[in-house]
Amino acid sequence: MKAKIIVTPKKAVVDPQGKTVQNALEQMGYRGIKAVHVGKYLEIELEGDPETARRQLDEAARKFLSNPVIEDFKLEIE
């Protein structure tokens, strides 16, 4: 099975990397971009019970893969 974890800055947190990308896109002529949020995307291949995997990956995402103070994450298992 495959797990996908998307980590993004919380909406209330200033994202300097996202702002830099937004400014670069505007300078390149792309208009109408309201905001850019730069995050992390992880794909993890694993075996075993889907519920156990979800529980373990949720814990790993909270403790290691993201900073819960400034980041949110979304976990999907296929």
Which CATH number goes with the domain that contains 52?
A: 3.30.1280.10
Domain count, the chain: 1
d(CA 8, CA 73): 6
Which DSSP helix (H) or strand (E) runs through 24? Answer: helix 16-27
Domain that holds residue 51: 2-77
**Buried b / exposed e along 31-51 (16+ C-beta atoms within 10 A):** eeeeebbebeebeeeeeeeee
Tens of pLDDT, residue by residue, the chain (78 residues): 999 999 999 988 999 999 999 999 999 999 999 999 999 999 999 999 999 999 999 999 999 999 999 999 999 999
* CB of 36 closer than 8 Å to CB of 21: yes
pTM exceeding the 0.75 threshold for the entire prediction? yes
Label the pairing between strands 2-9 and 40-45.
antiparallel
